[in-house]
Amino acid sequence: MATQANSVPHPTLISGIHNRWHPDIPPIVTVKPGQTFKIDCVDAGGAHVGNNDSSDDVKSADLTALHFLSGPIAVEGAEPGDCLVVDILDVKPFDEMPWGYTGIFELENGGGLFAREFNSKAAKAIWDLNGIYATSRHIPGVRFAGIIHPGLIGTAPSAELLGTWNKREGELIEAHGVSVPPVAFPPEPIGAYIGQDLDPELVKKISKEGARTIPGRENGGNCDIKNLSRGSRCYFPVFVKGANLSVGDLHFSQGDMSFCGGIEMAGVITLSTSIIKGGIENFALKQPIFLPSPIDPLYSQKLVFEGLNVDIHGDGKQYNMDATVAYKQAALNAIAYLMKIGYTREQCYLLLSAAPVESHVGAVVDSPNACVTLGIPTGIFDHDILPNTDGLVEKDFGQCAIRSDGIV
């Protein structure tokens, strides 16, 4: 039959796995500009967290092994100084695995935005992925369309850029001494995985020098920007020949306010690339820039919470133009509100990480208070959450998955 005969599926490239940034990791495959291809990705944690009702697996996560990236993928013709245009054409979970998870990490193992405030214990929500929607038996009453994206995507650093990263982050660690959770993560051979059949000396070098994948940097990386979603076009600076793109940490959804990166899942990403010569200079490209997707979920009504950099712990403390603190207060205000409806603090925390909430920097100009807002789309709830003259109705939504010892 003619139809099938002329169908040329997009190839799924056999991809390697690695969990460090280093210029010497050789590409596992080379693609041509204009070619559409797919990449299989394991979830950020390497299939450690399961579809079950206990958070013990989150508690025991090995963070030295984060993140499991697919790649590097070399693009023919890309050279340092160029701009690599990457079209994120689609992202989806594996057909065989229509689920994902959102986790709260322990204060001592992974931390998170409110790890200290909440003295966090491991907790999680499992999400069922039904086509474009996510629902969770651990957070009843909500359903939302995923803003599906790679939490982590970036080009390989040059040796020089890698050196800069290691130097500046090392100085930060030194300046802070021991802190829980750590302020930054230095190169760490334990847990390093390069994943190709390489010269052991090279593996050793990469493991020793390779930058950890946790923060986003000039190459993109783990920026956790929800709007790098399927349908978006991204412009990356190129630092090494071939650009050497790596990708992973797929999310089915995530809000602007995130803890562990939204709904973690394994799946497939479909990409194509092109090259703009000299783009770093031409576009003043210090970090990536991008165009969001036309199919990001649209929920027109939002309930918005304001946050300022004052008194976030009830101690009356005044900060100075600190958007991080204002962001945290907006989140705390939202959590306090949702708890009035009956969700537990852990459910609220997980929901704000996973759902398509929007956090805007209102203004960082009116000294001494930065103002940040957090907007929750009301359409994701199957019940009315708006303030009304009768007050809010408190329901029992149970609890998310917690540790088997019951400690929350």
- Footprint of its own copies on 160-189 (CB under 8 A): 164, 167-169, 171-172, 176, 181-185
Q: How far apart are CA 82 and CA 94, in angstroms?
A: 33
- 198 touching its own copies, by CB under 8 A: no
Closer to its own copies at the Cβ: 339 or 408? 339
The binder of its own copies chosen from 327, 343, 349, 381 (CB under 8 A): 327
Q: Which residues ranging from 118 to 147 are in contact with its own copies (CB under 8 A)?
A: 130-133, 145
Binding part of the chain for its own copies, among 187-195, 201-209, 342-350, 373-381 by CB under 8 A, reads 373-381
Name the phi and psi angles at 278, rounded to 5. 65, 20
- 204 touching its own copies, by CB under 8 A: no
| E-strand stretches of 300-380 | 302-308, 358-363, 371-377
β-partners of residue 251 are 149, 264
- 29 touching its own copies, by CB under 8 A: no
- 81 touching its own copies, by CB under 8 A: no
Cβ at position 107, least distance to its own copies in Å: 14
- 345 touching its own copies, by CB under 8 A: no
Binding part of the chain for its own copies, among 20-28, 116-124, 239-247, 327-335 by CB under 8 A, reads 327-335
Binding part of the chain for its own copies, among 24-32, 49-57, 203-211, 237-245 by CB under 8 A, reads 49-57
Whether residue 309 contacts residue 303, with contact meaning beta carbons closer than 8 Å, is answered with no
Q: Which residues ranging from 383 to 402 are in contact with its own copies (CB under 8 A)?
A: 384, 386-389, 391-392
Whether residue 374 contacts residue 319, with contact meaning beta carbons closer than 8 Å, is answered with no
The binder of its own copies chosen from 96, 197, 199, 201 (CB under 8 A): 96
The binder of its own copies chosen from 24, 29, 40, 57 (CB under 8 A): 57
The binder of its own copies chosen from 16, 23, 27, 112 (CB under 8 A): 112
| For residue 67, cis peptide bond before it (omega within 30 degrees of 0) | yes
Which residue, 87, 34, 132, is CA-closest to 291?
87
7-40 as b/e, with b when 16 or more CB fall inside 10 Å?
eeeeeebebbbbbbbbbbbebbbebeeeebbbbb
Q: How far apart are CA 231 and CA 217, in angstroms?
A: 23
Cβ at position 201, least distance to its own copies in Å: 30
Cβ at position 23, least distance to its own copies in Å: 19
| Cβ neighbours for 3, distance < 8 A, ≥ 6 positions apart | none
